[in-house]
Structure formats: C-alpha cells, structure tokens
Chains A and B, each alone.
Chain A
Amino acid sequence: MKPPSEILAAPDAADEAAAVENPVAGIDQAVGDFTYDVKYEFDAGSGLNESVIRYISGVKKEADWILDFRLKAYQTFLDKPMPTHWATKDLENINFDKIRYYLSQGQKPKRTWDEVPDDIKRTFERLGIPEQERKFLAGVEAQFDSEAAYSNVKDIVAKQGVIFCNSTEALREHPEIFRKWFGKVIPTGDNKFSALNSAVFSGGSFIYVPKGVKVAMPLQAYFRINAENFGQFERTLIIADEGAEVTYMEGCTAPKFSTSTLHSAVVELVALKGAKIQYITVQNWAPNVFNLVTKRAIAMEDAEVKWIDCNIGSRLTMKYPGVVLKGKRARGEVVSIALANDGQHQDTGAKMIHAADDTTSLIVSKSISVGQGRATYRGVVHIPKHLKGCKNNTECDALLINTNSRTDTYPAIVVRGDSHAVQHEASVSKVSEDMIFYMQQRGLTEAQAMSLAVNGFVNDLVRQFPMEYSVELKRLIDLEMEGSVG
C-alpha cells in the first residue's frame, strides 16, 4: 500500500474540486431502517451462561484452548463491575439476559461475488454502498450477522502472503501466527466489555502481513446487525510484521430497532518494528445501539499506528482507541470525529501510553453535539518519568448546534520527567443563527446549511480519509442533519 503519509496528503485545490461530491445531494432516509427475515441455522438463544459459550465454541469447532479462554473470560465478565463510577449510568440499562449472543446462517466464507446469496447482495444495495466501494467488495471481508457471509481475499493480497480471514478461521488454521498476540494487547480483564467480547466473540477480521510486505489496497469489512436484540461481538487482530504496511477500513450501518442492541468489539493491532498500520472506522449505528468498543494497538521500534475513528449514531458509544508506544521512536495517532444527535451520547477519546524514549503521539478529536446530544472527550496521555524525548500533541474541538447540547472534556495528561514536549488545545464553537441564515440566503435549506457547517468543521480531518469514505461520511452527516432540523 501507499505509505500513510501519501494517503494522507491533502489534495490540491483542483483535486479537491473533483473529489468532493455535492454535499447536499438527495438522501434516502430509509437507509438502515430495514430488516430481512433471515432463518438462522445456529442460534444460541437469549441470555448468557456457560452452555451458551460451549454452544458457540462447538458450532465453530474450536480448539480446547479457545474454549478455555472463553470460559475464563466469562468468569471475568461476571466478576467485573460496570464502570459506572466514571462513565454514564445509562450502562445499567443494558439487559444482558435479553441479548442474543450468537446467530449464524452457517455459511462458509464465499469466494466470489456471484456466490453471494441474493438477500445479502440486497442488503449491501440497501446500505447504499456506492459503486466505487462495491469494487472494494471484491477484496472484502464483509460480515453479515455473526459469520462472514462473504469473503474474497483478493488474489494479490494472498499472493503476497497476507492472511485475511475471520476470527474462527484464523484461530483454527493459523494458531501459530495469531495465538501469540490474541488477547495480549487487550487482556480479557481490561474492562467488563472486553471480557464479554472474549467470552462470546465471533466474526471480525484477522490479518497477518508478512515482513516487508506493503499491502497496496486498503482491506475492508462491512459489519451489520440484522436481528432484534442481537449483539455483535466481533474480534479483530491485525499483525503487521517488521516493515510491513497495511490500511484496514471498517464501516457499519445498522437497522433501527425498538429495543436496545449491544455492540461490543475488541480490536487489537500489533505493529512490529518499522511497521505501519492505519485503521479507519466510519460507524453509523441506529439510535438504540450501545456501542462499547475496546481498541488498542502496540507499536514497536519505529512503528506507526494511526486510528481514524468516526462515530455517528448509537445511543451510547464508549470508545477510546489507544496506542502503547513500546519501542523507541514509535508513533501513535488518533484522529476522531463524533456526532451526537438528540438522545445520543458519544463518549470517545484516546489513550496514549508512552513506554519508550523518543515516542510521539498525536490526538485530534472533533465532536459535534446536536439538540440534546452529548459529546464527551476522555483522553489519557501517560509519559513516565524515566523516559526521554517524548512528545504529545492533543487537540479537542467541539461544535455545538444548539444551546441544549452538551460537551465535556476530560483530558488526563500524566507527564513525569522534564525532557518531554506536551501540548494541549481545546476549543468550543457554535453554529450561529447568522451563519445558517447566510447560507440559506444563498439558497441552501436549513438542513443543507447545517450539514455544510458540520462538514466544514470536520473538513480538515475528513481530508485524511480515503476518498470513498469521505464521501460516505459527508452523506452520513447530511442524513443526520436532515433529521435534526424542525
């Protein structure tokens, strides 16, 4: 692949003009608002106990060590309290007994687009995945409910020795590669939800990029929830061996349901010496979804990890992508955008744990709160005393769309020692009535004006996204703003 710096290069003016689609094009609001009747071949029922976990492990024909791992995790899950002492009390509204922990159509990953069942194709179509992105589907690991319903690791990727498959297949076929790091970057007991995921995980992507291999195309996966009360617990582990480079993109849309849904993923990234990993997420959850995700990377000497994380929708999102900067000169970056609409709470941030000399971290967070929406930034930057020459730069900007919106910033920057450079900037701004009127006076509707203002606010970050994603992101913002004006 292109080194991240090239992907990130800001387009010049002419490029930009061609690349940026009309930001106010017509929107199909019903997108993500539908569901199909699907008969599940395997269904673990509602609620969680040991036999559910044995059932999941059995369906997946897992090795004993994985079953043990799951059962221990289940115990940890039961023992861990909810983090309500610092996080929102809304977590108490999750009813773990009502959640279905495993559903599957029992399909094997498919190899070609032709073999993909029609109803699944229809799902992709309804999700409005644009043509440009469909081409990516040729090299995509897309997840339909718990299992990968469609997967076609593009030949070139495989030819380079890259392994790209789902968690079940990876742990069964390549334990020698994945077992070493599985559950190591994020230990089971990291938090209650990482423990839950470790007990019931299924699906997700496991990727191994061999030494020195630069994956030319971004690897991509679409996730989607398609059953009421159905929680998704995907598990992702990406290992970039020494000098390897890979970009991974994850997109989510979910149908709207009346009862709460839980999504709790664990994503672990391992960037070995000199490797580069870029992980891009654009999520658009239905407003009833609890999205509680643990994402962390470990970066060895001279390695670079960049999380680009965009959160739209959901009832509550809690997500703080982190990088443990383990080797000298390692670099970690978190770029995040969160949009909290009425009734939503985006509790997001970043964690940078400096553990070697001359490590650098950068956090740029932009949040938008609309109506009663609430955006919270939580950041941790930790630089211990014995290190030298570490740098952190943190920038948090919040945009409020009306006076009811709420935004909080909780930066925790712990820096010991005196040879470090740390900067923190925060700003809060508002979309003023005059600004909206100005745009309306030029012929844009109020919703179009709002979405242009929001797009403008996040513009410098969106430029860092691959083109298809920035277009999709604009569309999602338009969609959110459509619904937010009276």
Chain B
Amino acid sequence: MSSLEIRSLYVALAATPDKPIVKGLDLTIKTGEVHAIMGPNGTGKSTLSKAIAGHPDYVITSGDVLLDGKSILEMEPDERARAGLFLAFQYPSEIPGVSIANFLRAAVQARLAEGEELDATAYYKRLYSKMDLLKIDRKFTSRSVNEGFSGGEKKRCEILQMAMLEPKFSLMDETDSGLDIDALRIVAEGVNTLKGGELGVLLITHYQRLLNYIVPDFVHVMYDGRIVKSGDKSLALELEAKGYDWVKTELAAATA
C-alpha cells in the first residue's frame, strides 16, 4: 500500500509568494481510497492539485508533500509523474500535431528502464482495450491530443491517459464537468476498475452526482485554502442540500 501525505501545505503564486492561496492544508490518501474535495469556486482546489504536480506557476512556501514517506517537492514535475502521480486537468492543454497514440507512447516509454524498448504491438493492444473500456472511438488515436476535442472528449482522454499510465495516485480536477450521463458512468466505471488495482484518488468536484458512481470513502470541504470539514459520503448530500453558507456559518461559530 502507498500513501500520499499533504502536510500543512501553503501554496502561493510564484509571483506573489506572500499571498497564499492554499493555507495550511492537511490530507493523507492511501491507495484504494477515494477522497472527494468539494468547495466553492476560487478556494484553491485546482491550485492544490497543480502545486502537488509541480506546476511552475506556484510555490510551496511551507509544508510538505510526501509520497510513501518521501518528500516530492524537490522533484521535477516529470519525476513526480513517473513516481506515480497523475493529474487529470480541469482544463487539459492541446498539443497540435502530436497524436494521442504517439503522445501516450512517449509517456509509456518514459517509464521504461533505460535501454528498454517499448513493445509496440503490446502497447497498441493495451491502448485499444482501454479505449474500448472507455468507449472511445479508435479513430481518436490519430487525432492530435485534445485539439478540437469537445469538453467531454477532453475529459475522457484524461481518463484514457490515466488508465494507460497506471498511477498510484490520481488527482482528478473536475473530471465530471462537461460529461454527459453516459460518459459519467463510463468514466466512473473506469475509475472503479482502476481503484481495485491499487489506486488512490483525490476527486475534486462540485457535484454530488459523480459520487453516486464513484463512492468516496471521505468527503472534505475546502474553504479559503483549507479543509474545514471532513466526513463520509453523507457530507456530500448535506452540502448539496444546504450549500456552502452552512459550512461558513459553522466555521465562523467555531472560530469565534
């Protein structure tokens, strides 16, 4: 079993290091677990996930992120990725001229030992089976990564990449937004299959709906750069019913 430990993490924009966006966040995820994070717009959910992945726009001003007990903060983004960290982006980038097949092939190759050559036949077999699983048309393999994709197609393509790269931990940033009901079910099934095989998930979402399909072990409410409330699946239902004001009021009462 692996663990991803976030310890009193402070994150700011590299340009304004004295103005933290994430303000002392603690969270430990183990493989096999699904943690959902919910919270109002602009509370720092994407910032948290990108900072963990090593995006150069952000600096971690204090705290630590540990993968299996070892800090990853000194690692380059690609080293973190190869160590087993995956980020399904809220807004995936387009890479003109680079086909999904070639992109994923390079990513898979990057995980092989030096001198080891990728077995192309096996690779394609695996790619096609994952695509079938996610009901992605095979024609997509030759399309440029995310270029001209619809919102939902981009999200499915993120899940396809996750399925191919078999991370230990996946930070899924609003993967459900933009998905139609069928796609949502397919993506959820995909995640559930992977989860059985030693995957830890941090699910950032605004909608309780997704949690009907991917049942979280923990639900956390993030507000103003911190986790202010944690619970089980029922917390998500409560949030949906009451909105965030309820959390804010409770928080104000607690700190008063």
Interface string of A7-32 (1 = CB under 8 A from B): 00000010011101011111000000
- How far apart sit A437 and B209, CA to CA, in the bound complex (Å)? 30
Pairwise interchain contact B53-A441, C-beta atoms closer than 8 A: yes
Interface string of B150-180 (1 = CB under 8 A from A): 0000000000010001000000000000000
Which of these, B95, B120, B139, contacts A17 with CB under 8 Å?
Answer: B120
Pairwise interchain contact B98-A456, C-beta atoms closer than 8 A: yes
Chain A's closest residue to B91 (CB) is A434
Verify if B107 is at the interface (C-beta below 8 Å from A).
Answer: yes
Pairwise interchain contact B97-A440, C-beta atoms closer than 8 A: no
Pairwise interchain contact B76-A446, C-beta atoms closer than 8 A: yes
Pairwise interchain contact A435-B94, C-beta atoms closer than 8 A: yes
Verify if A445 is at the interface (C-beta below 8 Å from B).
Answer: yes
Interface string of B69-105 (1 = CB under 8 A from A): 0000000111001100011010011111111011111
Neighbouring B residues of A18 by C-beta, 8 Å: 120
Pairwise interchain contact A448-B55, C-beta atoms closer than 8 A: no
Verify if B237 is at the interface (C-beta below 8 Å from A).
Answer: no
> Which of B4-12, B38-46, B109-117, B248-256 sits within the interface?
B109-117
Pairwise interchain contact B165-A24, C-beta atoms closer than 8 A: no
Pairwise interchain contact B109-A24, C-beta atoms closer than 8 A: yes
Chain B's closest residue to A456 (CB) is B97
Closest chain-A Cβ to B131's Cβ sits at a distance in Å of 13
Pairwise interchain contact A441-B106, C-beta atoms closer than 8 A: no
Neighbouring A residues of B149 by C-beta, 8 Å: none
Which of these, B95, B106, B139, contacts A24 with CB under 8 Å?
Answer: B106
- How far apart sit A446 and B104, CA to CA, in the bound complex (Å)? 16
> Which of A102-110, A406-414, A457-465 sits within the interface?
A457-465
Q: A16-B142, A17-B124, A18-B120 are in contact. Are A24 and B110 (CB under 8 A)?
A: yes
Chain A positions 1-60 with a Cβ under 8 Å from a chain B Cβ: 13, 16-18, 20, 22-26
Closest chain-B Cβ to A468's Cβ sits at a distance in Å of 18
Pairwise interchain contact A452-B98, C-beta atoms closer than 8 A: yes
Pairwise interchain contact A443-B103, C-beta atoms closer than 8 A: no
Which of these, B87, B115, B144, contacts A441 with CB under 8 Å?
Answer: B87
Verify if B56 is at the interface (C-beta below 8 Å from A).
Answer: yes
Q: A433-B56, A438-B95 are in contact. Are A443 and B111 (CB under 8 A)?
A: yes
Pairwise interchain contact A453-B120, C-beta atoms closer than 8 A: no
Interface string of A418-451 (1 = CB under 8 A from B): 0000000000010011110111111111101100
Verify if A455 is at the interface (C-beta below 8 Å from B).
Answer: yes
Chain A's closest residue to B99 (CB) is A16
Neighbouring A residues of B56 by C-beta, 8 Å: 433, 437
Chain B positions 43-59 with a Cβ under 8 Å from a chain A Cβ: 53-57
Pairwise interchain contact B109-A22, C-beta atoms closer than 8 A: yes
Write 30 A-B pairs (CB below 8 A) sorted by A numbering.
A13-B141, A17-B102, A17-B141, A22-B105, A23-B106, A24-B110, A433-B56, A435-B94, A437-B53, A438-B92, A439-B103, A440-B76, A441-B53, A441-B81, A442-B78, A442-B81, A442-B107, A442-B161, A442-B165, A443-B110, A443-B165, A444-B106, A452-B95, A452-B106, A453-B95, A453-B98, A456-B96, A456-B144, A457-B97, A459-B97
| Shortest beta-carbon contacts, A-B, top 8 | A456-B97, A459-B97, A456-B98, A438-B93, A440-B77, A13-B142, A442-B107, A443-B81
